[in-house]
Amino acid sequence: MAKFYVDRSLPKMVARITAKSVLNRHRKRDGWFLDDYSINPYSGCAFGCVYCYTRGSRYEARGAGGVAAKVNSPQLLSRQLRRRARKAEHGFIAVSTATEAYQFAEKELKLTRRLLNVILAYRFPVHIITKSELVLRDLDLLAKIDERAILPEELESLKHGAIITFSLSTLDKKLARIFEPGAPEPERRLRAMRRCGEEGFLTGAAFIPVLPYLSDLEESLEEMIASAKEFGARYVFVGALTLFGSTPESCRGRYFKVVERNFPKLLADCRRMYKTAMPPGYQRRLDAVARRLCRRHGVRYRIF
């Protein structure tokens, strides 16, 4: 039996809700993920990552840990994309930014799959960001999107209408079990990434967030970047942890609790480091190390 502490407050029930809107238009294109839009087919997430920034932030629509499926989202998206397509406002749609589009409920509900059908019909490009190999189920649709999507002029050189990014915070199975208790283990994500690469997709790994003192050390970063390359990543992201909120249920509260239970010697350092949601200069330091390691291992740092 595992001796470490795992937060077992994973949601088991999925509520059905009707949403008012599903397509979010960003004021500015995201510099990392290149999306102009985002959609979230679910509210909340059953993977229950301890560091999930939606806990304690404005994205926490379902309270601590609930999951709801936005059952009318395909119809809503169709209406919203029709208007955007008429005005030729094609841009990458990130799926998803505040939930996991391929969490357990998706296997049965196929909500994300229905949304991809709508995206394909209006020829929008899509950027899937996921921790789940369930995305492989939809490679047939994604291949059509990849080929037929209309790219914004500045991104035409990408030559891909579908980008698939696998998100990881560590390669260590035990650490992943502690910090991402409901998510498929890291190696399964890497294997899914390899398959996406073999099928010709633009695919890569987002090591976001890396875990302070646990997976953000240079040797861990090097192992992650080398493995990403080995499993076919064309690009890599490395991103810092952000800790929002102040309640015990917020990501800040949960994160410190899990560190205290599993790595008590690190608690004081983590608290000192995280006086604010994001320590000043931390992302810059990670960028410098990651860029150097990416050069060493011959993989691109970020997509562009």
Binding site for ligand SF4 (CB under 6 A): 45, 47-49, 52, 54, 99-100, 131, 183
Sheet holding 14-17, edge to edge: 14-17, 67-70, 42-43
The residue among 49 and 116 lying less far from ligand SF4, judged by its C-beta, is 49
* Cα-trace Rg, the chain: 19
Closest CA to 34 of 186, 117, 132, 155: 155
The residue among 99 and 227 lying less far from ligand SF4, judged by its C-beta, is 99
For the chain, strand residue ranges (E) read 14-17, 23-25, 35-39, 42-43, 67-70, 92-95, 126-130, 162-168, 202-207, 235-238, 300-301
Q: How many CB atoms lie within 10 A of CB 86?
A: 9
**Half-sphere exposure of 205 toward its Cβ, with a 13 Å CA cutoff?**
32
Closest CA to 13 of 52, 63, 50: 63
CB of 286 to ligand SF4, least distance (A): 18
The residue among 51 and 122 lying less far from ligand SF4, judged by its C-beta, is 51
CB of 56 to ligand SF4, least distance (A): 12
Chain centroid, CA 73 distance in Å: 20
Residue type, 252: R
CB of 220 to ligand SF4, least distance (A): 19
The two tokens of residue 92 are 């990458």
Return d(Cα 97, Cα 270) in angstroms, integer: 26
CB of 48 to ligand SF4, least distance (A): 6
The two tokens of residue 130 are 């996921």
The residue among 81 and 190 lying less far from ligand SF4, judged by its C-beta, is 190
The residue whose two tokens read 């169709």 is: 78
Return d(Cα 59, Cα 55) in angstroms, integer: 7
The residue among 81 and 128 lying less far from ligand SF4, judged by its C-beta, is 128
CB of 211 to ligand SF4, least distance (A): 13
The residue among 99 and 229 lying less far from ligand SF4, judged by its C-beta, is 99
The residue whose two tokens read 């999951």 is: 67
CB of 65 to ligand SF4, least distance (A): 9
The residue among 81 and 111 lying less far from ligand SF4, judged by its C-beta, is 111
3-state secondary structure of 238: strand
CB of 150 to ligand SF4, least distance (A): 28
CB of 251 to ligand SF4, least distance (A): 9
The residue among 203 and 294 lying less far from ligand SF4, judged by its C-beta, is 203
